[in-house]
Chain A
């Protein structure tokens, strides 16, 4: 198995993927495709405590710490949101809590998806990123208390 790419490397990879697209339609087709490919979350995880609640669509997200790395899984009832969260998982999942906390995630701006970070889209990328970083912070604190 090849060495896991760093967060920055995966971000660059996504930026490169998106550089192939000329139109908004193509960008969104790609995101929708990723959304459709995201492995669905088992029903047992689709409960209130895993919800990132927003105004329009619902995102369920779970995470666990495996061998010192945070593994995320998520799903949404909206496909584009699912595609966006799938990109975040691709970038952040499998990394150490501190790396996740430090991640700049400027690929979002570079691929033109900054509008989904707006405060008003409370179910957009912003709340997902916050939740993922919050989980990482909790794991970091747990690790620290064990040591």
Chain B
């Protein structure tokens, strides 16, 4: 394939040098890290940001009058501005910091859904949701009497949109779907879903756990009502995530957790809430990881998502071709639009055995149901072996995995 000028600028050796963990060995072999859909590795700038925070300006934020508190507050709030720009939100107060996508979804479930849904109402999710976008709604439907419906998935791993339209009636108050599937890689037509849902008056939450690192996110263009992000899947630290919500919806929502920071005035008779976004950020937040998230986003923007996407698409295509050439391998998830996830099963070989044997070659993949048991049931399998690629992966690494697979399959069968 001819390289364009843009692609030449993408220097893979230089990119790899930003990630210290890539220098290590596993089982005496160079690490090949293909578990990026679970979490990405961290560039030095993110690690440095954490160290810098704790070394130089650790303090509790907001209300502090001293210099350290002011510096920490400024850094924390700068991340909010950065996230706002990163996902093109209209207002900075629409960015709520959470622990991750799971907490973001639960926040919406326990505030908006718990107070707005009643018996007779319906929620739509899809058949390829992570458990974190299934279980909160099951809990809420139990509390409210609302009903949970599921958009089925076809054999290619794509949503059956004609079924979605059948489910989409005036009864539907909320649609919550994943932007890109963690198990299959499928990129869902979320814009179409959002527009259709709005026509029946439903609000829409998009689970952006997998998509944010790969795709350009513009929440205003998408017009989604909520968008959930996980920092550690975007080269940032664990323990921090984002809930984007439209201002008018967030303002009408009751608080999630009560405590410090989220209040305006507290008396034993009546407490009033702080303004957005603080209403939803009770207690001392995860300051260090929030500060380092800015470093991660700056890093991703500096490298450029477009270039990375191009690189990852090439890796996915190469991996898929190589995998399909192995006898007895079946790819799970053949959607036309995919993020860089290659999920597969091998006839007569248990995924766990494959995972262990690949680990012996230094190759880190994920095996199992990937927290999407209903989806695995849909395909009639207990789980898959999943290789997921990031900006620092190479074709040579894919060759290592393929050689390891061939060897493992021969031994295991």
Chain A residues with CB under 8 Å of chain B are: 23-25, 28-29, 32, 55-57, 77-81, 123
Residues of B within 8 A of A57 (CB): 350, 352
Most A C-beta atoms less than 10 A away, residue of B351, B352, B360: B352
Bound Cα distance A77, B411 (Å): 15
Chain A residues whose C-beta falls within 8 Å of the C-beta of B27 in the assembled complex = 24
Q: Write 11 A-B pairs (CB below 8 A) sorted by A numbering.
A: A24-B27, A56-B367, A57-B350, A77-B382, A79-B350, A79-B353, A79-B412, A80-B352, A80-B353, A80-B356, A81-B352
Docked CA distance A78–B383 (Å): 12
The answer to whether B360 and A28 have CB atoms under 8 Å apart is yes
**Whole-angstrom CA separation of A28 from B407 in the bound complex:** 12
A-B residue pairs, 8 tightest by C-beta = A78-B350, A56-B352, A24-B360, A78-B352, A56-B368, A57-B352, A80-B353, A24-B27
Q: B300 at interface (Cβ–Cβ under 8 A)?
A: no
Q: Does B390 contact A (CB under 8 A)?
A: no
B412 contacts A32, CB within 8 Å?
yes
Per the bound structure, the CA–CA distance linking A57 and B354 in Å amounts to 12
Q: A56 contacts B351, CB within 8 Å?
A: yes
List residues of chain B with CB within 8 A of the CB of A81. 352-353
Q: Is B124 an interface residue (CB 8 A)?
A: no
A55 touches B353 (CB 8 A): no
Whole-angstrom distance from the CB of A147 to the nearest CB of chain B? 43
A28 to B351 CA separation, bound complex (whole angstroms): 15
Give B355-413 interface residues, CB cut-off 8 Å to A.
355-357, 360, 367-368, 382-383, 407, 411-412
Within 8 A of A (CB), among B28-59: 28
Contact B411–A32 (Cβ < 8 Å):
yes
Contact B353 A78 (CB under 8 A): yes
B-side interface size class? 10 to 19
Contact of A28 with B368 at beta-carbon distance under 8 Å, contacts A56-B351, A78-B350 already known: no
Residue numbers in B under 8 Å from A32 (CB-CB):
353, 411-412
Question: A24: which B residues are within 8 A, CB to CB?
Answer: 27-28, 360
> Of A28, A29, A77, which is within 8 A of B356 by CB?
A28
* A56 x B383 contact (CB < 8 A): yes
Q: Which of B3-40 contact A (CB under 8 A)?
A: 27-28
Nearest-neighbor residue (CB-CB) of B413 within chain A: A79
Q: Which residues of A contact B407 (CB under 8 A)?
A: 25
Chain A residues in 8 Å Cβ range of B355:
56
Residues of A within 8 A of B368 (CB): 55-56
A residues less than 8 Å from B360 (CB atoms): 24-25, 28
* Closest chain B CB from A122 CB (angstroms): 11
User: From residue A121, how far is it (CB to closest CB) to chain B in Å?
Assistant: 9
Contacts of A123 in B (CB 8 A): 352
User: Shortest Cβ distance from A9 into chain B, in angstroms?
Assistant: 28
Q: B411 → chain A, closest Cβ, in Å?
A: 5
Q: Which residues of B contact A55 (CB under 8 A)?
A: 368
Task: Compute how far the CA of A120 lies from the CA of B350 in the bound complex, rounded to whole angstroms.
Answer: 18
Give chain A residues whose Cβ lies under 8 Å from the Cβ of B351: 56
Q: Give the residues in chain A near B350, CB-CB below 8 Å.
A: 56-57, 77-79
Which residue of chain A has the shortest Cβ distance to B367 in the bound complex? A56
Chain B residue nearest in CB terms to A76: B350
Closest A residue to B349 by CB, please name it.
Answer: A79
